[in-house]
Chains A and B, each alone.
Chain A
């Protein structure tokens, strides 16, 4: 079945630095990818939707300059947390959709736990 590889699985960084998280579809082409963040014991909150070759669409309240999303190919999307601060510490999960004609093709990565110290 469809597989999405997300890495790193965890990362610790210093406040003020930037962190890049990669999400790769291994055996299918992902025209659309979604990025979520999940705070402890809370639900996934959609941050943005990205389509290959175009700018990401951010949800209300998400800073596009802080959370840079790039979807340069059909198999790779990246989320860069710029100038990270402790409040950015969270669990980030990507989800990929393949061919739009497939109705149920949401495949999730295993997530990245970001800790900013």
Chain B
């Protein structure tokens, strides 16, 4: 079935460091891909999305490119801030009801 695999965390970085969180997927057809962020005690918020191959989603300095050939959607940010500390989830949209399937989540901790 459809699935999403994310790199395990936690990822610990210093402020202004470069961030990469790997995400690969398995799906039939052509899924849409998403990154969600979950801050402590809150629900999920959509960070960015891409709907077809080679699309680049971007928001708040984060970027991810839909790579069909490698079935990947890695999240990157050039310079992280302490406020970026959160759990990041990669997800794909699949199924007749367009349900979202999530990866395991990657916890990011950014220190001053």
Interface string of A86-111 (1 = CB under 8 A from B): 00000001010100100110101111
Asked if B99 CB lies within 8 Å of chain A CBs, one says yes
Contact B43 A93 (CB under 8 A): yes
Contact in complex: A111, B42 (CB < 8 Å): yes
Once the chains bind, are B99 and A108 in contact (CB under 8 Å)? no
The smallest C-beta distance from B24 to any residue of chain A, in angstroms, reads: 15
Q: Is the CB of B102 within 8 A of A43?
A: yes
A109→B43 contact, CB < 8 A: yes
A83 on the B face (CB < 8 A): no
The distance from the CB of B10 to the nearest CB of chain A, in whole angstroms, is 9
**Measured CA separation A17–B43 after assembly (Å):** 26
- Total number of B residues with any Cβ neighbor in A under 8 Å: 21
Count A-side interface residues using an 8 Å CB cutoff.
Answer: 23
Contacts A43-B105, A103-B32 given; does A95 touch B97 at CB 8 Å? no
| Segment among B15-23, B45-53, B59-67, B72-80 that sits at the interface with chain A | B45-53
**How many A-B contacts if CB must be within 8 Å?**
49
B44 neighbours in A (Cβ, 8 Å): 44, 93, 95, 108
Do A44 and B43 touch (CB < 8 A)? no
Q: Which residue of A lies closest to B49 (CB)?
A: A104
| Chain A residues within 8 Å of B49, by CB | 104
B31 in the interface (beta carbon within 8 A): no
Cross-chain contact A49 with B107 (CB below 8 angstroms)? no
In the complex, are the beta carbons of A49 and B97 less than 8 A apart?
A: yes
B101 nearest CB neighbor, chain A only: A46
Distance in angstroms between the alpha carbons of A117 and B34 in the assembled complex: 36
Chain A neighbourhood of B51, CB < 8 A = 103
Closest residue of chain B to A31, judged by CB?
B97
List 16 additional contacts besides A106-B34, A109-B43; criterion CB under 8 Å. Answer: A41-B105, A42-B104, A42-B105, A43-B102, A43-B104, A44-B44, A93-B43, A95-B44, A95-B100, A97-B98, A103-B32, A104-B32, A104-B49, A106-B46, A106-B100, A110-B43
